[in-house]
Structure 1
Amino acid sequence: MTEHRSASARSRRRRSGPAHGSGRRGGKGPLWGGLAALTVLGAVGLAAAEWTSSGAGGSHGDARTEPTVQAGTGPATSRPTHAAKPAPSASPRSPAPSGSPSASAPDIPSTGPGTFTAASGGSAKVGTGTPLRYRVEVEDGLDLSAADVARQVEAVLADRRGWTADGRSAFQRVSGGTADFVVRVATPGTVDEICGQYGLNTGGEVNCNVSDNVMVNLKRWLLATPVYAKDVPAYRALIINHEVGHFLGHGHVGCPGQGQPAPAMMQQIKGMNGCVPNVWPYDDRGRYVTGPAVP
């Protein structure tokens, strides 16, 4: 997600609206050893609590820390959110994939060659009306399958809680020819370079939408943010919905109220502000999840 709007409008867009204990040597006996152990355990507990509450900055064009809330992606109804069946792109109960914070931290290159490979094949049209054609590309040299990324993006854009629920938007993935927009997963340095060409500062941390590019920072794709650390696939859905939402002409909104689902167009990386995690533009009943407009 990014806190920036697309730098240039597209004619086909639709608008809507982050101590150790020590014992002394010598004849102090078991008492000192027990005190040292208690000190170590206390320090470990404090360190763990500090990590949980601080976290790292994230993906809305701002490196601020997210508050810790229970991870989840529930829509406006009480039922938990889950992705379309073709891919586990937003299942609250799906195990965190390799490369998520719960697994060993991946080695993320700071920059890459700036060239991309497109996923082959294509998808059927989803949604009503003339579809927006899009490609999915992965920067060369990354340990990511373009085909796998494409399947996840397809599942997000085809979900009934996605942008097709507006009754106007439609999508179709292509591998070549003319495309209306391109979803690109790239290293932080490459994202910075492409977004920077349009005056946006992504700081090596976040995503953006500029012109026909939906730029996805590899760091966010693999690590998500603290709020979604236990459900990285859900955060990937939020990235796609937020940035494609910008491409469609949607601006940022705030939290609509305490305990309400966070809108997909809310900059959730800056804090949930009382909202609960949600990655979809629409809820299970087809209602648009939004809030007050913000800059």
Structure 2
Amino acid sequence: MSGRAGHSGKLIRYGVKIEDGTGLTPRVVAAEIDRIFRDSRSWTGRGVASFQHVPAPPYDMVVQIVSPGTADRLCGSWGLDAGGELNCANAPNLIVNVRRWVELSDQYRGRPYEYHALIINHEAGHVLGYGHRSCPGPGRPAPAMMQQIKGLHGCVANPWVYSASGRFLHGLHVP
């Protein structure tokens, strides 16, 4: 069990599960997720939540890295069409398509840590009850809750919930 990332807000105890055949290991992935949550620009930055990786249930959130087919099946069971490409979340489950984890998206080519941070921050945001947001304006950082894989719409790629100065990065709510 690792220590708590963040010191205030709702404590989210999370597990990490990796589908066989992905080539990833839970220990390595969990360490990267922990590093993301410890960044002051993540959900822990302003005390919205804190996160702790735990090795066994009970979990408040389960990060599952799975094959595209499994992601399509799981996301589809919640009425979402992942099209072999997308990630999804339906609390407590956070489904990460291994194709996206490994191949990244066009907006994050060559920057795997930043793209992983976007996936984790975006999908954890859904688990926390946050919906999608739009681009707040040309040249501005894209909110972590923006569906950046579908295009930046003038925004600059950004994986973080908060700016370096602690400002919440958001756009208009997208229904």
User: Is the structural similarity TM-score above 0.5?
Assistant: yes
Partner of 2:137: 257
Of the three residues 97, 120, 123, the one matched with 2:2 is 123
Of the three residues 266, 272, 280, the one matched with 2:160 is 280
Partner of 1:64: none
- Structure 2 counterpart of 1:173, one-letter code: H
Q: Does 1:155 align with 2:155?
A: no
For the aligned residue pairs, the C-alpha RMSD in angstroms reads 1.2
Please show how residues 37-52 of structure 1 align to structure 2 within 5 Å.
none
Partner of 2:86: 206
Once residues 204 and 131 of structure 1 are traced to their aligned partners in structure 2, the CA distance between those partners, rounded to angstroms, is: 32
Higher strand share: 2
Ranges in structure 2 where 5+ consecutive residues have no aligned partner: none
Partner of 1:168: 48
**Contact 2:71–2:96 (CA<8 Å) still a contact in 1?**
yes
C-alpha deviation, 1:137, in angstroms: 1.1
Q: Does 1:180 align with 2:60?
A: yes
- Structure 2 counterpart of 1:123, one-letter code: S
Once residues 163 and 130 of structure 1 are traced to their aligned partners in structure 2, the CA distance between those partners, rounded to angstroms, is: 11
Once residues 188 and 285 of structure 1 are traced to their aligned partners in structure 2, the CA distance between those partners, rounded to angstroms, is: 37
* Structure number with bigger Rg: 1
SS in structure 1 at match of 2:64: strand
Once residues 10 and 118 of structure 2 are traced to their aligned partners in structure 1, the CA distance between those partners, rounded to angstroms, is: 24
Deviation track 1:59-95 (CA, whole Å, cap 9, x = no partner) reads xxxxxxxxxxxxxxxxxxxxxxxxxxxxxxxxxxxxx
C-alpha deviation, 1:233, in angstroms: 1.8
C-alpha deviation, 1:275, in angstroms: 0.9
Higher RCO structure (Cα 8 Å, ≥6 apart)? 1
C-alpha deviation, 1:124, in angstroms: 0.4
Give runs of ≥4 in structure 1 deviating > 3 Å.
none
Q: Does 1:240 align with 2:120?
A: yes
C-alpha deviation, 1:130, in angstroms: 4.6
C-alpha deviation, 1:142, in angstroms: 2.4
Once residues 91 and 11 of structure 2 are traced to their aligned partners in structure 1, the CA distance between those partners, rounded to angstroms, is: 18
SS in structure 2 at match of 1:200: coil
- Structure 1 counterpart of 2:30, one-letter code: A
